[in-house]
């Protein structure tokens, strides 16, 4: 059954997508994702919101873009008499940002169905691992390093879980690391060197290739790329976030569909 037929009785339920946001050119990734969401849910009202107040302020100041945060949109919907909405997280793991998003339900007098982040179930990890195939490539002599933002939330183990699932798909050449927290760059680099790899492919495990990608992974003197190259490794870097891959967006589509399913007809 298509998404259109499956949710034809819930066309009055808005879908509120909540991403962290970015001030970089990577905003085009959101546009690419939006096209997939509209293809999957053509008859539903899809509303984008951004959880980073810093990003919102910067874009208002520099580009006069008035982005909405989820609280603002929920208040507007409540004032229009909306009874139900899907609040869909576009975060990658269930960390602090997800908990802050879930707390938004306490600010309005309406029912919300929370759509889970990208990596929330074994099925999610398996589907994401397969969705990354276009950027992993088939070079058995090349280490693949999936680099996430990192967190001090208990969900930090998500990065190792994805590494384990990806190793089942692509073999022991897959490694994980994070910009902030554990496993940090030095830990990941040491593991790669001990395995004897000479080539490394870095995949940003971030929805968009924003500031962290530009500075922490490639540009700064202590960036992942330059640090690895200083150790004699040949490094290539995927130039976009995972949101660029339709297979990743379709995992979010499934989460939206599941969130819609719990709303009574």
Is 99 annotated as contributing to ligand binding? no
Is 180 annotated as contributing to ligand binding? yes
Is 96 annotated as contributing to ligand binding? no
Phi, psi of 41 (to 5 degrees): -130, 65
What DSSP letter does each residue of 160-229 carry, written as one string? Answer: HHHHHHHHHHH-TTEEEEESSSSS-HHHHHHHHHHTT--EEEEEEESSS--HIIIIIIIISTTSHHHHHH
Active-site positions read 149
> Omega before 201 cis (within 30°)?
no
Beta bridge partners of 236: 201
In whole angstroms, give the CA distance from residue 190 to residue 194: 6
The neighbour count for residue 183, using CB atoms within 10 Å, is 21
The binding site for Co(2+) consists of 149, 180, 212
């Amino acid at each position: 059954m298509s998404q259109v037929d499956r949710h034809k009785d819930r066309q009055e339920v808005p879908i509120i997508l909540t991403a962290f946001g970015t001030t970089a050119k990577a905003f085009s990734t959101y546009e690419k994702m939006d096209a997939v969401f509209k293809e999957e849910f053509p008859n539903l009202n899809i509303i984008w919101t951004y959880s980073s107040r810093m990003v919102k302020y910067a874009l208002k100041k520099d580009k006069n873009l008035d982005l909405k945060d989820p609280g603002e949109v929920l208040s507007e919907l409540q004032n229009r008499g909306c009874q139900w909405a899907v609040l869909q997280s576009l975060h990658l793991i269930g960390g602090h940002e997800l908990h802050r998003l879930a707390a938004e339900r306490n600010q309005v007098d309406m029912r919300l169905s929370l759509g889970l982040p990208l990596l929330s179930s074994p099925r999610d990890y398996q589907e994401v691992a397969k969705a990354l195939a276009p950027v992993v490539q088939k070079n058995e002599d090349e280490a693949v390093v999936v680099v996430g933002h990192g967190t001090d939330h208990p969900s930090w183990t998500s990065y190792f879980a994805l590494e384990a699932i990806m190793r089942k798909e692509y073999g022991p050449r897959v490694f994980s690391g994070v910009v902030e927290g554990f496993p940090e760059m030095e830990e990941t680099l040491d593991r790669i060197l001990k395995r004897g790899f000479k080539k490394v492919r870095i995949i940003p495990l971030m929805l968009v290739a924003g500031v962290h990608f530009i500075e922490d992974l490639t540009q700064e003197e202590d960036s992942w790329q330059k640090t690895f190259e200083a150790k004699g490794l040949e490094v290539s870097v995927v130039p976009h976030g995972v949101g660029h891959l339709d297979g990743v967006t379709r995992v979010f589509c499934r989460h939206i569909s599941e969130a819609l399913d719990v709303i009574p007809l």
